[in-house]
Amino acid sequence: MAVPASRNAFLPDTAGMAEKNHGSQKLILDCLASEVLLQRGVARLPSKFTVGEATPGYHLASQESEGFSSRIDVDHYATYELLHPAYARQVVAMAEDVIAFGGDAASGEAIDIGSGPEPLLMLTELLPGLGVTAIEPDSVAIAHLRAATKELPRIKWYFGDFLDIELGRVHRS
């Protein structure tokens, strides 16, 4: 259902494109479409949104007192990221920066430090030539990251502190 352009004269008439891309196989397009539709007053969740479908406690809380997952359920947070206002637009801006300032980095190697699987998946959709080493110091969060990105050979995982990494020794495991 498209919202008339007169509803908000400050926004371009993108509702038709958003309707078309909602439910896209591309996570970035699906999330961007949901954001545009929400700006236009149409609430549509990204199709990957899985409230009620995730198994509670699938990735159990970390016992590490400083670990991210000792405070936050990583499965629920990953779902929240898909609804975070302008989250997908931030990933688009990041990809634009990689292209603008990174030169040939868009087809090279990058390091991702703890951003989580959803933005990483969106970034690699936008930059298909990019290889990424994802560094995660939390044992539960790295398990979630591995499960979410296991089909992408361009993403390597490193469990540990980013200050301790030896880049030549990172392998997909």
Give yes or no for residue 111 having a pLDDT over 60: yes
Instruction: Tell me the pLDDT tens digit for each residue of 63-92.
Output: 555 666 666 777 777 777 777 778 888 999
Give yes or no for residue 164 having a pLDDT over 60: yes
Q: Write the DSSP string, 36-75.
A: HHHHTT-----TT--TTTS-TTSSPPP--TT-GGGTS-HH
The CATH homologous superfamily for domain 50-169 is: Vaccinia Virus protein VP39 (3.40.50.150)
Determine the 3-state secondary structure of 157 from DSSP. strand
What CA–CA distance (Å, rounded) separates 119 from 125?
Answer: 10
What CA–CA distance (Å, rounded) separates 2 from 22?
Answer: 12
* Residue among 153, 160, 114, 119 nearest 134 (CA): 114
Structure tokens at 163: 């200050």
Contact 69, 58 (CB under 8 A): no
What CA–CA distance (Å, rounded) separates 42 from 23?
Answer: 14
Count of CB atoms situated within 10 Å of the CB of 173? 8
Q: Where are the domains of the chain?
A: 50-169
Instruction: Tell me the pLDDT tens digit for each residue of 14-73.
Output: 556 656 656 667 888 888 888 888 877 877 778 776 554 444 445 455 555 566 666 677
Contact 144, 74 (CB under 8 A): yes
For the entire predicted model, the pTM comes to 0.71
